[in-house]
Amino acid sequence: MRRPEPLYRAVIMLARTIFLINGYRFTIKGERHVPRTGGAVMAINHTGYIDFVLAGLGARKSRRWVRFMAKKSIWQHWLAGFFMRGLKHIPVDRRAGGAAFKEAVAKLSDGEVVGVYPEATMSRSFEIKELKKGTARMAQESGTPILPTIVWGAHRIWTKDVPKRLGRTKFPIHITIGEPIHVGPDDDITAVTEQLREVMKQLLDETIAAYPKLTGDELRFLPARLGGTAPSYEVAYAKDHKDMTRVKDQFTKD
């Protein structure tokens, strides 16, 4: 029996109102792959700061609420923290992620849908980066399927290194959910992670192909290999490495 979610429902209604005011146009494919009951790991690509606000829409046709894993610092903000706790999302301490992993597995085992970002950090190239193995591990440990999920268009609203555009933009937002990947108890986690990445890469290309053509300045939101002016995978990797080094140095000072 599903638990009542008055706060989550209210947040979704508010979000939909904001989306309508801003003129966002949604195209959602593969909603049928989200199970109506039982746990599932929604593995989402990460190109923008509001991906998680939008990815959950892909589960609403199945009447599911998604519990997202997000960095712990968000919980420290008085207002954001209130909502993160109320919506039962999962705080992740990047220096010690064991507690978040255990909480995610517990929620999955309890029949929840958990949203994760297997790339761990945002992709500046808008390509699918190397994936962490935690997604496959939690699916295996909880006995739940992985739902490869692509959100495309949200990065045009707010992403790294580009001024955010939060007003009325009328941007199309495409969400694609692929067929579930089932992980057996004896499956090789590395192989499953590689399979997930290949599936997500294919879904990304299919989603981009169906998206309205980008031109002019908007080409900065298109991967370089597709004729866009976004940083190449290699250049983006170098920037990400520099960011991670700076964060590690900050932790060391603390």
| C-alpha distance from residue 97 to each of 22, 148, 168, 210, 233 (Å) | 36, 22, 37, 36, 27
What local confidence, expressed as pLDDT, does residue 246 receive?
A: 60
Number of domains in the chain: 1
| pLDDT above 70 for 155 | yes
Give the strand order in the sheet containing 90-92. Answer: 25-29, 172-177, 146-152, 40-44, 113-116, 66-71, 90-92
Give 243's pLDDT tier (boundaries 50, 70, 90): confident
Determine, yes or no, domain membership for 12: no
Determine, yes or no, domain membership for 58: yes
What local confidence, expressed as pLDDT, does residue 254 receive?
A: 45
What local confidence, expressed as pLDDT, does residue 52 receive?
A: 87
What local confidence, expressed as pLDDT, does residue 241 receive?
A: 77
What local confidence, expressed as pLDDT, does residue 120 receive?
A: 86
Determine, yes or no, domain membership for 24: no
Determine, yes or no, domain membership for 107: yes
Q: What burial letters (b/e) apply to 51-85, b meaning 16+ CB within 10 Å?
A: bbbbbbbbbeebebbbbbbbebeebeeeeeeeebe
Determine, yes or no, domain membership for 174: yes
Give 245's pLDDT tier (boundaries 50, 70, 90): low
| pLDDT above 80 for 26 | yes
Provide the domain limits for residue 173.
Answer: 40-245
Determine, yes or no, domain membership for 15: no
Determine, yes or no, domain membership for 215: yes
Determine, yes or no, domain membership for 1: no
Nearest Cα neighbor of 210 from 27, 76, 12, 71 is 27
